[in-house]
Structure 1
Amino acid sequence: MKIYRAPAGLWDIRVVDITGSIASAGTATQPVDAEPPPLTVLPHTLRMASMPSPKKMVLFYDPDEFEEFVKEWVPALETKYPLVERHGGSGDHGIDVAGYLSSQRLEGEWHNYQCKRYSSALTWSTAVVEMRKMFVFAAAGHFTVPTRYIFVAPTISRSLPRTLAKPTDSMNKFLQELDTATEKIVTNLTAVQREAVKGLAAATDFSIFECVDLDEMLKLHSTTPHWAERFPYTPLDQGPQTLLPPVQPSEVESRYVQHLLDVYRERYPDKISNLEQVSGVAKADEHLKRQRVAFYTAESLRLFARDSTPPGYFEKLVEDVYDSVVEVAECTYPNGWERHGAVTTAAGNVQLTPTILTPFVQPNTRKGVCHHLANDNRLIWCQEGDK
């Protein structure tokens, strides 16, 4: 490409391609010696790569990781198991994740969660191989037939749930195909063993076989503490359920309420000497009610974090608040009332470390965290040396 300059007095820019023909031309009346017009430089736009959704992440799990994901999900089901155990691997006898309903484990009532992680959707032709394996090992006495057998897979064909929805037809289909099965676990059976497998299958209610899709699994997995660890950049669908303070302070409140009582006794020495008298002083009574609501707002988040996130998330929030208000608390104040007000106001401006809990931290939560700290004697409102 060549650029030609026009005679003096004009800007004439012609862009010529390698053949010599003019590709484009432009003429301007600005003198050659004049300053060229200023360039406007637009800042480069930085865009963060979007994180894949939990569903897409699970689709990329290898079989071992998928089994671990299922093991985390099973305890969130309505059925409460005394023990959930992962068996996946060589020699697992067709059991990936087992949920036991009694201490007898595989000799008692139990549920099998069969994990199938394939690039394509799970179909009958794949599922029936696992069903045959289960009956072969059960007939051999390795375990009792599970009372539920659930196929879990990232994608499931539309036809499989329809087939399993008709247990009698499923059983007949299974028995018919057993004679033509080609996998070694079946072809290696003796005639007596094959009849034992047939008899066991014929005596089994095939309604035990079910399948679960990934959307349902993810919805329940999000209620477990494992969700935040697996998908830390994905917000939780539901936050904590707000707890309301009981009429009378509970045992868990005793220490921070005592610290507040010290504040009221200091501020109203002629009117308040014990907790029962606080209700007789309107300002103190309303103040105590607000603090108790704040405490339970933070307590709601603490319990939610305990049940929905790995350990340490709520504790990090507490440390963020403490690190931000401790200097304020150590200043000198006329009384504990003023210190309490200054500290709780400062708590409202705390810059929190971003975590999966951050969206659920309300202004009242921060104030309530101050009372959690008071419960541990890390914040004390009435101090010697106040003026």
Structure 2
Amino acid sequence: MPTAYHPGPPPITPEQRIVLMTDVAWETFIADCCEQLRQENKYFQIKQLGGAGDKGRDIACYTVFPPKANTWDLFQAKAYKDPLTPTNMMSDFAKFLFYVFNGDYPIPRNYYISGTRDVGTSLHDLLGNPDIFRKKVLTEWKAKAGNFSSFKQPLIPALESFITTFDFKIIKEMKVSELLTIHSRSAKHWIVFELLPPVVPQLPMPENPTTEEQVYVSEILRAYGDFEKSSVPSVNDIPSKHTLHFASCRKQFYHAESLNRFSRDFVPAAFDALKEDIRTGISPVVDDVTHSDGLKRLNETLKHVTTLTATTNPLKDRIHSLDLQGACHHLANDGKVKWVPDE
């Protein structure tokens, strides 16, 4: 009886990878999430500002530019080894409040705090009680005489009055899980986590072949003609006994085209690599000179390709038999496979 072997540790999860991120990588990750939202028309412009002179802004997400009050969202990225506490954030809050008060930028509609380990219980409770939150900020400001760890500003009467009426409800948490949901829709998700969306959206198949299908369709028509020993010049001339076969071939092509679009959006060039691997895998069947006709060559190839695997391709967990068969038609469409060899 074969000895059982240990499969090794489970793959690292996105949450575990995020915990290991540097502050720069974490800010970039959040900026990528914001850019995805921009592509989904949630924002007009994204600006990564974190660093010296940022005035308490890591990432600004604008719905209009120049921004007006309540038309933009601010994200603060915090890469800490523990959940965020009020102490971690107090300097950021003070800096933010001062620069809004000072007119350096308009008040945002949302101020999102995002930590690699989310916010802790104390900060969570503070965010949930704006009045206590306000009192906490004013108390800390007075106790420190305006001398925060990375920001110094005395609490002048006008500033205190501004804070007293400020709407602290706009300061919220954006959790890691929420950011991951957004990021999963981004082309960057594979690059950062080696993960792809779980479902490949399927393209609808047009009722009639399009110009993009012209080459592979002509190859299928040649295969029918070779079998019938009579030319089949157009789709309208396909003998009725081949109608279902032709529909199946088109279905295969569009299933693979859906994977191609998916690859283009998330893992560029992976579908092209898959086609090349398939071309190598089917070449013994395609090049076999003993086939009685082109239709036999086509059908034997479509049968053989379903036995192939793509274990090294990034798309491997999204590939179905229809994709493998459809890739054969894509190769024909590229002029790399012919069902009836040229004389």
Normalised by the length of structure 2, the TM-score is: 0.85
CA shift in 2, pair 1:188/1:131, >3 Å: closer
Q: Partners of 2:222 and 2:162 in 1: how far apart? A: 74
Q: Which residue number corresponds to residue 278 of structure 2?
A: 321
Please say if residues 183 and 189 of structure 2, whose CA atoms lie closer than 8 Å, have aligned partners that are also in contact: yes
Helix, strand or coil for the counterpart of 1:179? helix
Matched, 1:135 2:97: yes
1:290 maps to amino acid: S
Other structure's SS at 1:114 match = strand
**Which residue identity does 1:380 align to in structure 2?**
K
SS in 2 for 1:184: coil
Contact 2:76–2:111, Cα closer than 8 Å, also in 1: yes
Match of 2:153 in 1: 189
Following the alignment from structure 1 to structure 2, what is the Cα–Cα distance between the partners of residues 161 and 380? Answer: 64
Give the aligned residue type for 1:357: L
Residue aligning to 1:336: 294
Amino acid at match of 1:92: D
Name the CA distance, whole Å, in 2 between partners of 1:290 and 1:128: 63
**Pairwise CA RMSD:** 3.1
- Name the structure 2 match of 1:258: 218
Q: 1:50 deviation in Å?
A: 3.3
User: Cα offset for 1:117?
Assistant: 1.5
TM-score (norm 1): 0.76
Deviation at 1:204, TM superposition (A): 4.3
Higher helix share: 2
Does 2:22 align with 1:62? Answer: yes
Give the aligned partner of residue 289 of structure 1: 247
Distance 1:52 1:276, change over 3 A: same
Aligned to 2:179: 217
How many residue pairs match? The answer is 338
1:242 aligned to 202, 206, 210, which one?
Answer: 202
Residue 66 of structure 1 aligns with an amino acid whose one-letter code is W
Give the secondary structure class of the aligned counterpart of 1:111: strand
Alpha-carbon contact 1:320-1:350 (below 8 Å) kept: no
Tell me the distance in 2 between the aligned counterparts of 1:157 and 1:190: 28
2-structure distance, mates of 1:202, 1:310:
50
Distance between the aligned counterparts of 2:13 and 2:151, measured in 1? Answer: 43
Q: Match of 1:363, as an amino acid?
A: S
User: For residue 180 of structure 1, what is the aligned residue in structure 2?
Assistant: 143
Measured in 1, the distance between the counterparts of 2:336 and 2:76 equals: 50
2:340 is aligned with 1:382: yes
- Post-superposition CA distance 1:77-135 (Å, at most 9, x none): 46633333322223322222222223436999322110111122112333333121112
Residues 349 and 173 of structure 1: CA distance in aligned 2, closer, same or farther (over 3 Å): same
**Cα displacement (A) at 1:314:** 2.0
Deviates more, 1:179-188 or 1:292-301: 179-188
Aligned to 2:168: 206
Instruction: Determine if contact 1:63/1:116 at 8 Å carries over to the other structure.
Output: yes
More displaced, 44-53 or 240-249?
Answer: 44-53
**Equivalent residue letter for 1:189:** Q
* Long gaps (5+) in structure 1: 1-41
Counterparts in 2 of 1:248 and 1:207: CA distance versus 1, 3 Å: farther
Residue 323 of structure 1 aligns to a residue whose secondary structure is helix
Contact 1:100–1:106 under 8 Å retained in 2: no
Residue of 318, 327, 334 corresponding to 1:369: 327
**Which residue is 1:80 aligned to?**
42
Cα separation, 1, equivalents of 2:332 and 2:167: 59
Q: Which residue of 1 aligns with 2:304?
A: 346
Q: Which deviates more, 79-88 or 51-60?
A: 79-88
Shift of 1:59: 1.0
How far off its partner does 1:263 sit?
2.5
Question: Cα gap change, 1:188/1:217 in structure 2, threshold over 3 Å: closer, same or farther?
Answer: closer
Matched, 1:304 2:283: no
